Structure 1
Amino acid sequence: MPVTSEPIQGYAPISGAQIFFEVSGQGEPLLLIHAGVADSRMWDAQAARWADSRRVIRCDMRGFGLSAHAPGTFTFHDDMAELLRSLGVACADVVGASFGGAVALDLTLAHPELVSRLVLVAPALGGYVFETPAMREFFAQENALLAADDVDGAVELNMRMWVDGVGRDAGAVPPDIRAKVAEMQRLAFVLPPADGEEALDLEPPAITRLGDISQPTLVMVGTHDQAEFRTIAKLVAQHIGNARYEEVVGAAHMISMEQPDTFARLVEQFLA
């Protein structure tokens, strides 16, 4: 019988920050980690769907959505580990998208006991150096726009890069999806910084330790995603011993929002 109880929302005090979270449904825990151009709202469709059979946990990482920046040093993967422990979760299946995929990989390496299975959606990768002209130009343009306080321009740049993708224009994506990602990205740009805040990286970085991951892993990437993210996805799938690789035809970077049914089918088949 489907679970009909309302989601539980709250703030978890973690390393000086207040991390917003939502828990929906009952069953085996499933942690959803959002992309760097988004926040926990990118998982709205999945949280509603999977709460019928799983205990779905999603959060806004610090500096995103409803989680403010906080002073002090921290790691995103340790934040996720502490969130799970604060919710009484001993082990969970973990889904991470883009930057959230890098966090999921780091979580798996730093706290392997907390991760049962891993789904990586167009993941970033700790220690990977972007080298193509397209990526270098993107970061240079984004930095210049933000330095000039042109938030609108920086948001639109990110929409073209990640939502529209390669070989498509803005009309290829439903306008409500584009608007939702733009709203989430804008909020991340304008949240006030905290003095003395410093995000630390996992050392050694994940790129040198992929072979240490033994958890069953699904890696997926869209055919309209940026070339280096397609490269990263293949690299990760090749170096994790128990990994499966899927290309999602017709999708760019935000697969779960652009093709929610296809995304859900792939994840459900993998976690069955």
Structure 2
Amino acid sequence: MDVLDGYPMRRRAIEIRERICVGLALGFITACGPHAHIPLRPANLPDALVPTDSGALLARRLAPVLYLQPDETFPLERVVAVLHPIRRVIAYHLLWRDDVHGSWIPFTVPTDEEVLWVGYDSTYAPTDVWTYWHGQILHTAWPRSQVVIDVQWGKHGSLPRNVRQSDLPRPRTLNFFYAMTIFGEPDILLGDITRKGPLCFCHGYRRYRQFTRPIVLAGRLDAVVRTEDPKSTLLEVFGSKYSNKHRWP
């Protein structure tokens, strides 16, 4: 028979307390974890260019083609093109449904905004590409042809097509982020408590580096504006909580 101060009873009490603590922690995460609230596409944006405007036509003409890793889970929800009023640069703001890491952390931004930029010359041919890559802006000269961007699994970092891995800033390499899918597996699983997402990256490094699912942005533009500061438009299209990353390279 168990007694109150005996080992079996104390052990059972400890186990019950641990389960209660885990349950409370998971409940707190679920309650306080961020949830994406992306607004409906606005019918009328005061600053948006009409589809027949020369700027809107140029934004569609120079819009990149994205190539996703084939196991990507989070959809691309919104795209806004922004023409700089003075410089020959067009920004393409991309809003992904979520990020694979850290999504369970209370009060974090519940969506994933990425940005890429296309520079063009006097003939309106693309000559430069900049992409946002985990806190840094990458730049490459572009050979006056269709701009193509590779999109990283889960994190949605943007890379000019066929970029050399050795050129990526350390430690922000694909090798590092692939390792994070392994060592950061508990983080990925915690994210599934607050929203539907992948359970893991369940493949090898070779597949992690494959980018084969195309998205043609020309047909996905939710708005095209000409402004140096697109914040008001992004708030209308992306919602009140987004990452608000660099506007221009």
Please classify the TM superposition score into its range, dividing by the shorter chain length: under 0.3
Query: Relative CO higher for 1 or 2, CA cutoff 8 Å, sep ≥ 6?
Result: 2
Task: State TM-score, norm by structure 2.
Answer: 0.25
Task: State TM-score, norm by structure 1.
Answer: 0.24
Pick the structure with more helix per residue.
Answer: 1
